[in-house]
Amino acid sequence: MTNLTLRSGSDSMGSGPLGDPLSPDMLGRRSRFRAFTDPSSLLPTYAGVAIALVGFALIAYAWAKVAGLVDVWRQMPYLLSAGLPGVGLVMTGLVIVNVSARRQDSAARARQMASLTDAMRELQRTLDR
């Protein structure tokens, strides 16, 4: 998808400064960032599941603390500090998983359309002969 042009000579990859876009440090950072933002990557899905699991753990912690208390005023700190953020993390994780799934489907559809377009061009060339 992306063409990478390697430079040669005095400004090659090994001798460039840290700010050089082709330095080994920057290439490593870009590849990790690109692996996370690539539409066909599963990393966002795993991150969303992990965030949702942390949210469920916070909800379980809040429930365990609140279950033994009878007074509402003593339950509120657990509800506000663990229960509501837990619900927020679960919702955030689900949104991340949903967006990631849609991006994966879109990437697969784009690959299929490219394949279909190539097949149609080949058919057109064959029919034109």
Q: What is the pLDDT of residue 16?
A: 46
- What is the pLDDT, as a whole number, of residue 13? 45
**Residue 30 confidence (pLDDT):** 67
Please say whether the beta carbons of 97 and 91 come within 8 A. Answer: no
Decide: helix, strand or coil at residue 124. Answer: helix
* Cα four-point dihedral sign 80, 84, 88, 89: positive
DSSP string, 47-77: HHHHHHHHHHHHHHHHHHHHHT---HHHHHH
> In this structure, what are the phi and psi dihedrals at residue 33, rounded to the nearest 5 degrees?
-65, -40
What is the C-alpha separation between 12 and 73, in angstroms, rounded?
66
Query: Using one digit for the tens of pLDDT, what is the confidence trace for 57-76?
Result: 999 999 999 998 889 899 99
Instruction: Specify whether the CB–CB gap between 40 and 108 falls below 8 A.
Output: yes
Residue 44 in 3-state DSSP?
A: helix
Most confident by average pLDDT, 2-11, 68-77, 109-118: 109-118
Question: Do residues 49 and 90 lie in contact, with contact meaning Cβ atoms separated by under 8 Å?
Answer: no
